[in-house]
A and B are shown apart, each in its own frame.
Chain A
Amino acid sequence: MNDADERHAASLEAISVSKSFGGVRALHEASLRAFPGEVHALVGENGAGKSTLIKLLGGRLRADSGVIRHHGAAVALKTPDAAHRLGCWTVFQELTLLSAMSVAENLLLRREPRGAFGLTSERRLRQTAEAVFARFGIHDIDPGALVEDLPLADRQVIEIVRALSHDPDILLLDEPTSALMERETAWLFGEVRRLRDAGRTVVFTSHRWHEIAAIADRITVFRGGRDVGSFTTLGEDEAVTLMTGQRVETLYPPRPAAPASEAALTVADLAGGRLASASFSLHRGEILGVGGLAGHGHRELFLMLFGAMPRKAGRILRAGHEIRPRSPRQAIRAGIALVPEDRKTEGLLLPLSVRDNLTLAVLGRESRLGVLRRRRLRSVAAAMTTRLKVRMPDITSPVAALSGGNQQKILLGRWLLADCAVLLFYDVTRGVDVATKHEIYELMTALARDGRAILYYSSDAEELAHLAHRVLVLREGRIAAELPASGLNAEHIVAAAMRDQAAA
């Protein structure tokens, strides 16, 4: 097939598209060509431009320059509707469900079944939604429920079903699996294969290589806002080299030496929210992994240890002394720090400077009678940025101007400055690119070697298997299994998390 034929056959093409945000180039003359009957994976680090390209193709953003073609004809995708009219539907990375509305209203938004006078009704909506779900084999989501009452995985499924229900000719999925568990991912891939076999086009992005390997017919690699190659077969190592422009020798650093026997944190019968009861000890120098399916009490465990959520029952001992943290402030006093999942909304103050962000937790210490010792604040912040090798224009530049990995370092640096001995890491690598992940792993193991105790929840079982000394698997609010490091692999963690569900 020659080049002209191929272009003719492509269902969706982006040709040399560029897009900048306030002087920052997100896409620079990037191209993508997707064909009917193929599953096309977009891979690349965060900030490589994948999401921006998907937004351009989905009509959310308009390109500064370049052409988008649909079956060979140039099209202007000014609005999401314009894309929809071409049969092109998108599941964006940030979910677009309306949280105060019901599942049915969301699923059928702007195509509500209408009766007399063009008006809709809740009953009608529910019934239609039920039918739509049934068509895609989804039976465990209540169409009448409010979206805000549902776990993230269900919301992602609703979003996917909404796109599927339009019978898309082209389906764009931006990191659809990051919130999904094994079972739902399998369901999604089934639907994706069905579309492909019907001659449709599916474009998707993921940071999980085994998913890409499992389903992609073609892989286009993005780096620094442009495509650097399109392949029908590509190995993970090659892909990482292409994505990062360098070779990441080994993703996972060696596990630190066995921890001390001294307990830094002991938890007894802790309960609250979805956490029914948890007891364990975390030792100095230990990376204690926490695994299991989302919504089984992990979040509650971390928030309660950090004083950010009231405890219903249980005791917490910090280095042998009982503590009752009733606020993050008190937890920090006791030397406990939380690195939250969403650094942009729960961690950093984006418009404020690197210095202000770093020193936020030590303002009390670095002041006299409430008056800031500004020179000292500046010097401790500067020392920390040097220690963590933070790449930034200046210590007074806003954190928003830093790359994701460097932002994550600032957040870690805050707790290092506060000298917290117990670090709670809550899914800090979710949706983070490979190079940054590597940096975070290195930091984490360095901290453990340093004698700090790390409690580490991750939605990626692979990570836990490589980094943790032990892994606790939470299921239905209880510790269902404690897996030692020797012989640990991701399958064990997943199996322990799912055991009962498989039996039911």
Chain B
Amino acid sequence: MAPPRRPPLAHALARHLGLVLVSVLLAVSVIGYCALYLATQARLPGMFELTSSLNNTMPLALAALAQTMVVLTRGLDLSIGGIIDLSNALAALYLGTTAASMALASALILLAGAVLGLVNGALVAYGRLQPILVTLATLAIFQGLAIRVLPQPGGAVPEAYTALLVNTGAPYALVYVLALMLFWTVLRRSQVGIALLAIGDDEAAAAANGIDPVATKLVAYTLSGLIAAAAGLFLAAQATAGDATTGNGYTLTSIVAVVLGGVSLFGGRGSGIGAILGAFVTTMIVNILFFAHIDPLYQSFYEGAFLVIAVVLAEGLGRLVRRRRARA
């Protein structure tokens, strides 16, 4: 009897269905955007549009990747917005003007983000508390700290810093996006990444295989805090000043991006690349709404409706693929 084997492509499609769907979604939304742009501006979007889209999306892409780390372990990090706030506020005050001071301050801010993430992780892993509640509480704490650091919007971000992170002249941000995707790819193929997915899939089973759930969760939340802090830095560079409330919206939009990116909120399934692409889909939708001359007041309505439709369609498609596989 010949062993039943499916072609590797069929397996890949089944495993990365979420990634495939978000790629299609991104392609469709980019095409839609270009078509609308062409219709209204009588030309195709160029380098400037590409650059600004990339730059605008970087903070969300980072926040989405941060959220992915936690969601993969079957958690939810509501404190991401708070960490972005704090990192943003610190950046506006302490970056300094020399290259050395900027590098040092950035490193320390990233470290602070990692430590805050570690606190979340410790509460979840050692305290065995529900992630959503822990991070709801730490969100309040981090937001409070951010306002303490920077009571009024202000401070300053040096031009050189902005030029480095948010260069408006050319789509350099593409490098950052690719670097993030590379980071995910490496992580996914490393022991740590496998452990992350494993404990989100089935914590007891992972533990029986010798994977340490406590250590893995600590790593997940620490990475989340670190990446969220990076989002705060990008946001500061973009605004060229600080605002201790600027990150608040990112908690929820990061969840939107993650869900669009095909990462399961039930843990164990999904890809950081999907989440990053999900962030870009979100940006594209805002762009489309803008060029479709939709009243910006209605923006959240369309985003919300789109989210539900996308999730329902993805769910339906997933079920269809699953049924076909089961029958075959």
Chains A and B directly touch (beta carbon < 8 Å):
yes
Chain B, Cβ-Cβ closest to A143: B5
| Residue in B189, B194, B206, B322 whose beta carbon sits within 8 Å of that of A121 in the complex | B189
- Residues of chain B lying within 8 A (CB to CB) of residue A499: none
Known: A92-B208, A95-B205. Contact between A123 and B8, CB under 8 A?
yes
Given the contacts A95-B205, A101-B197, A144-B6, A504 and B210 also touching, CB distance less than 8 Å: no
Q: Chain B interface residue count: which class?
A: 20 to 34
Residue B92 at the chain A interface, CB threshold 8 Å: no
Q: Produce 1/0 per residue, B198-221, CB < 8 A to A.
A: 100110111111111000000000
Interface with B: A27-35, A105-113, A286-294, A436-444, which one? A105-113
Contacts A109-B194, A109-B198; is A80 near B11 (CB within 8 Å)?
Answer: no
| B305 CB-CB contact with A under 8 Å | no
**Given A105-B194, A144-B8: A99 in contact with B186 (beta carbons within 8 A):** no
Does B14 interact with chain A (Cβ within 8 Å)? yes
Q: Please indicate the chain B residues that have their CB under 8 angstroms from the CB of A112 in the complex.
A: 194
Q: How far is the CA of A79 from the CA of B191 in the complex (A)?
A: 18
Is A102 a contact of B210 with CB atoms below 8 Å? no
A100 in the interface, Cβ–Cβ < 8 Å? yes
9 closest A-B pairs by CB: A96-B205, A144-B11, A96-B208, A119-B189, A98-B201, A81-B210, A139-B3, A80-B210, A100-B268
Interface string of A50-81 (1 = CB under 8 A from B): 00000000101000000000000000000111
- Closest beta carbon of chain A to B215's beta carbon, Å: 11
Chain A residue numbers with a CB within 8 Å of B269 are 100
> What are 8 A-B interface contacts by the 8 Å CB criterion?
A84-B210, A94-B204, A96-B202, A96-B208, A96-B209, A98-B198, A119-B189, A139-B1
CB distance from B8 to the nearest CB of A (A): 6
A504–B1 Cα distance when bound, in Å, is 9
CB–CB B3/A145 < 8 A: no
- Interface residues contributed by chain A, number (CB under 8 Å): 37
CB pair B3 A142 closer than 8 Å: yes
Chain B residues with Cβ under 8 A from A92's Cβ? 208
User: Is there a chain B Cβ closer than 8 Å to A279's Cβ?
Assistant: no
A residues 79-95 touching B (CB-CB < 8 Å): 79-81, 84, 92, 94-95
B298 CB, nearest partner CB in chain A, Å? 37
Least CB distance, B192 to chain A, in whole angstroms: 11
- Among A95, A102, A273, which residue has its beta carbon within 8 angstroms of that of B15? A102
- Chain A minimum-CB-distance residue to B201: A98
**Would you give the 0/1 interface string for B313-326, flagging 1 where the beta carbon is closer than 8 Å to chain A?**
00000000010011
Any chain A CB within 8 A of the CB of B300?
Answer: no
Residue B297 at the chain A interface, CB threshold 8 Å: no
Does A409 lie at the interface of the complex (its beta carbon under 8 Å from any beta carbon of B)?
A: no
Within the complex, which residue of A97, A110, A121 is in contact with B210, where a contact is CB–CB below 8 Å?
A: A110
Q: In the bound complex, what is the Cα–Cα distance between A98 and B14 (angstroms)?
A: 16
Task: Tell whether A118 is near chain B: CB-to-CB under 8 Å.
Answer: yes
* Chain B residues within 8 Å of A60, by CB: 207-208
Partner of B201, one of A81, A100, A110, A126: A100
Contact A102 B11 (CB under 8 A): yes
Q: Are A142 and B189 neighbours in the complex by a CB distance under 8 Å?
A: no
Within 8 A of A (CB), among B88-130: none
Q: Which residue of B lies closest to A79 (CB)?
A: B210
- A residues less than 8 Å from B205 (CB atoms): 94-98
Q: For the complex, is A308 an interface residue (Cβ under 8 Å from B)?
A: no
**A140, CB-defined interface residue at 8 Å:** yes
Contacts of B202 in A (CB 8 A): 96, 98-99
Q: With the chains together, A200 CA to B245 CA distance in Å?
A: 64
Q: Could you say which residues of chain B place their CB within 8 Å of the CB of A84? A: 210
Q: In the complex, which of the residues B202, B204, B268, B326 has the most CB atoms of chain A within 10 Å of its own CB atom?
A: B202
Identify which of residues 101-154 in chain A touch chain B, using a CB-to-CB cut-off of 8 Å. Answer: 101-102, 105, 109-110, 112, 117-123, 126, 139-140, 142, 144-146, 149
Q: In the docked arrangement, what's the CA distance between A488 and B206, Å? A: 44
* A110-B268 in contact given A102-B11, A123-B8 (Cβ < 8 Å): no
Q: With A81-B210, A149-B325 in contact, is A101–B198 under 8 Å at CB?
A: yes
Interface residue from A102, A105, A126, A140 paired with B3 (Cβ < 8 Å): A140
Complexed CA–CA distance, A126 and B322 (Å):
21
Which listed residue (A94, A101, A142) contacts B5, Cβ 8 A? Answer: A142
For residue B268, which residues in chain A have a CB less than 8 angstroms away from its CB?
A: 98-100
User: B12 within 8 Å of A by Cβ?
Assistant: yes
A110-B209 CB under 8 A given contacts A101-B197, A142-B4:
yes
Minimal Cβ-Cβ distance residue in A for B269: A100
**Beta-carbon nearest neighbor of A139 in chain B:** B3
In the complex, what's the smallest C-beta–C-beta distance from A352 to chain B, in angstroms? 21
Q: Which residues on the B side are within 8 Å of A58 (C-beta)?
A: 208
Tell me, rounded to whole Å, the shortest Cβ–Cβ distance linking B326 to chain A: 7
Bound Cα distance from A102 to B13, whole angstroms: 13
Residue of A98, A117, A119 with most partner-chain B CB within 10 A: A98
Q: Given A79-B210, A120-B189, 5 other A-B contacts at CB below 8 A?
A: A80-B209, A92-B208, A98-B201, A102-B11, A149-B325
Which residues in window 227-254 of A have CB below 8 A to B? none
Cα A99 to Cα B6 with chains together (Å): 18
Minimum Cβ distance to chain B for residue A100 (Å): 5
CA distance A146 to B17 in the complex (A): 13
| Chain A nearest CB, measured from B209 CB (Å) | 5
Shortest beta-carbon distance, A75 to chain B, in Å?
A: 16
A118 to B190, CA, bound (A): 7
Q: Kindly list chain B residues whose C-beta atoms are within 8 Å of the C-beta of A144.
A: 5-6, 8, 11
Please pick, from B1, B12, B325, the residue contacting A140 in the complex, using a CB distance under 8 A.
B1
Minimum CB–CB distance for A205 against chain B, Å? 17
Return chain B residues, CB-CB under 8 Å to A142: 3-6
Q: How far is the CA of A139 from the CA of B1 in the complex (A)?
A: 9
Least CB distance from A77 to B in Å reads: 12
| A58 CA / B207 CA spacing, docked (Å) | 12
B4, B14, B194, B206: the one within 8 Å of A146 (CB): B14
Known: A94-B204, A97-B205, A142-B3. A126 touches B8 (CB 8 A): yes
For residue B270, which residue of chain A has the nearest CB? A100
User: Which residues of chain A are within 8 angstroms of B204 by Cβ–Cβ distance?
Assistant: 94, 96
Select A100's contact among B191, B197, B207, B326, beta carbons within 8 Å. Answer: B197
Q: Encode contact with B along A202-239: 1 for CB under 8 Å, 0 otherwise.
A: 00000000000000000000000000000000000000
Contacts of B190 in A (CB 8 A): 118-119
Q: Cα distance A144–B13 when bound, in Å?
A: 11
A504 / chain B contacts, CB cutoff of 8 Å: 1
Residue-wise, chain B 295-318 has the 8 Å CB interface mask toward A (1 for contact) of 000000000000000000000000
Minimum CB–CB distance from B60 to chain A (whole Å) comes to: 26
